[in-house]
Amino acid sequence: GAVVSQHPSWVICKSGTSVKIECRSLDFQATTMFWYRQFPKQSLMLMATSNEGSKATYEQGVEKDKFLINHASLTLSTLTVTSAHPEDSSFYICSARDRGANQPQHFGDGTRLSIL
Amino acid sequence: DAKTTQPNSMESNEEEPVHLPCNHSTISGTDYIHWYRQLPSQGPEYVIHGLTSNVNNRMASLAIAEDRKSSTLILHRATLRDAAVYYCILRDRYGNKLVFGAGTILRVKS
């Protein structure tokens, strides 16, 4: 079945550091990928839609300069949390959808980010 | 996006069937009903989706009401590995994004 790989699985870093998270579709091409964040005991919140070859579309309230998204190829999207602070600590999850109408989304296993 | 309403939590015994309800009274004619589940510390996993007719796959069955204002996800024999948060989401055929609600926490007792 379709697989989405997310890396790293977890990262701990100091406040002020920028952190890059990668999301790859392993066996299909994804023109669109999505980035979510999830706080403990809460549901997933969509942050942005990543479009291959064009700018990402951010949801209301999400700072585009804080969360940089790059989707340079049909199999890779990256999310960079710039100058991360403790309040950015969260579980970040990416997903991708295969081409064609009405295809399900496939999710990565998430990246747990802890900022000290 | 049309909203869905699910119970906060449900409990089931192992090896018994589980019926997870979802209400979506404002569903439009082009909205598909999608179900995903999320195990602890993992990303969500696709379960099943349908439009009007009932659907079956290896994981579950989806029963859709005739007026499409509600649906039920059926796990035929719950196992401990089925303990997860189950999300019922509406998405247009050509829609891209999935908007997650609170979902139903399913607990399975041995």
The band of A72, judged by pLDDT with boundaries at 50, 70 and 90, is confident
Chain A residues closer than 8 Å to B100 by CB: 36, 43-46
Decide if A96 touches B, using CB distance below 8 A. no
Chain B residues closer than 8 Å to A54 by CB: none
pLDDT at B2 over 70: no
Residues A91-103 have pLDDT tens digits of 999 999 877 767 8
Largest CA distance in chain B: 41
Q: How far apart are alpha carbons B28 and B98 in whole angstroms?
A: 16
Chain B residues closer than 8 Å to A34 by CB: 96-98
Q: How far apart are alpha carbons B35 and B33 in whole angstroms?
A: 7
- What single DSSP character describes residue B37? E
Chain B residue whose CA is closest to A45: B100
Strands (E), chain B: 9-13, 18-23, 31-38, 45-50, 55-56, 61-64, 70-75, 84-92, 104-109
Q: What angle do CA B108, B109, B110 make, to 5 degrees?
A: 125
Q: Which residue has the tokens 């952190």?
A: A19
Largest CA distance in chain A: 42
Q: How far apart are alpha carbons B44 and A70 in whole angstroms?
A: 22
Q: Do A110 and B101 touch (CB under 8 A)?
A: no
Residues A18-56 have pLDDT tens digits of 999 999 999 888 888 999 999 999 999 999 998 888 889
Residue-level pLDDT at A28: 87
Q: How far apart are alpha carbons B3 and B98 in whole angstroms?
A: 11
In 3D space, the residue among A81, A73, A90 whose CA is nearest the CA of residue A33 turns out to be A73
Q: Do B43 and A109 touch (CB under 8 A)?
A: yes
Instruction: Tell me which residues of chain A, numbers 44 to 73, contact chain B at a CB-CB cutoff of 8 Å.
Output: 44-46, 49
Chain B residues closer than 8 Å to A93 by CB: 43-44
